[in-house]
Amino acid sequence: MTVRVVVADDQEIVRTGLRMILDAQPGIEVVGEAADGEAAVELARRVRPDVCLLDIRMPGTDGLEATRRLAGPDVADPVPVVVITTFDLDEHVYAALRAGARGFLLKDAGPDLLAQAVHAAARGDALIAPSVTGRLLDAFAGSGPAPPPAQPLDRLTDREEEVLSAVARGRSNDQIARELHITLSTVKTHVGSLMAKLGVRNRVEIAIWAHETHRVPPRAPGR
């Protein structure tokens, strides 16, 4: 099935480049473009794409507000959002993840990673690249006012703690299965259990919770 994508960026040359890259990928089709967040929200609500790819910094309604309006916790029928940014240490990216985005990329991520992120968001998963997402979560997990992370009513099992740590480090289900020597279906069961216990909607929110509760050791400087 073809994944239908809306692209939003205030620079026409960036939108054109993203469209060309995505349209060249198997199973992906760009169905619309927007130059700011307000236009992106209106377009997404009208055409109902499978995924929205939003730049963080746009005039007027920025990518953060657009993400909240399309994928926030109060949205009844959210549209999956992947955010993109030029800067790998940008507090707005972390805020976008809290607002409901399923992942984010740097604009120089390359065609393969871009396609992976779009497909992941479309199937209800999230792409968390360890080289980028882990660094941002570490840097900004404590930034800005935020309520204390909710504690699960049911204690996490030892295996769930292992899966939690692996998800927060950006491991895919296949990688987790290999690392922990368990089946892929078992990994999916544990991820589903974590989402239920933590009251979160996707892997990005699992990772955020893990970092906010200090389940993941700080990364060494320069890594």
**For the chain, what is the mean pLDDT?**
83
Whether 73 has a pLDDT exceeding 90, the answer reads no
* First-residue to last-residue Cα distance in the chain: 38
Position 89, amino acid:
L
The reported pLDDT for the residue numbered 49 is 97
pLDDT band at 145 (very low <50, low <70, confident <90, very high): very low
Residue of 14, 13, 81, 11 whose CA lies nearest to 45: 81
* DSSP state for residue 59 in the 8-state scheme: S
Please give the model's pTM, rounded to 2 decimal places: 0.69
Please say whether the beta carbons of 27 and 51 come within 8 A: no
Q: Compute the radius of gyration of the chain from its Cα atoms.
A: 17
Please say whether the beta carbons of 177 and 223 come within 8 A: no
What's the average model confidence in pLDDT over 65-75?
91
Return the ∠ at Cα 209 (arms to 120 and 199), rounded to 5°. 80
How far apart CA 33 and CA 18 sit, in angstroms, is 10
What's the average model confidence in pLDDT over 168-194?
90
What's the average model confidence in pLDDT over 26-54?
96
Which of 70-84, 170-184, 198-212 is predicted least confidently?
Answer: 198-212
What's the average model confidence in pLDDT over 179-201?
91
Whether 146 has a pLDDT exceeding 60, the answer reads no
The reported pLDDT for the residue numbered 181 is 96
Please say whether the beta carbons of 57 and 65 come within 8 A: no
The pLDDT tens digits of the residues spanning 80-123 come to 999 988 765 556 666 777 788 887 787 888 898 899 889 988 98
The reported pLDDT for the residue numbered 130 is 55
Q: Give the Å distances, CA to CA, from 72 to 22, 90, 140, 169, 201.
A: 25, 20, 19, 24, 11
Whether 68 has a pLDDT exceeding 90, the answer reads yes
The reported pLDDT for the residue numbered 2 is 95
Express as a percent the part of the chain with pLDDT over 70.
81
Express as a percent the part of the chain with pLDDT over 90.
45
Higher pLDDT, 36 or 120: 36
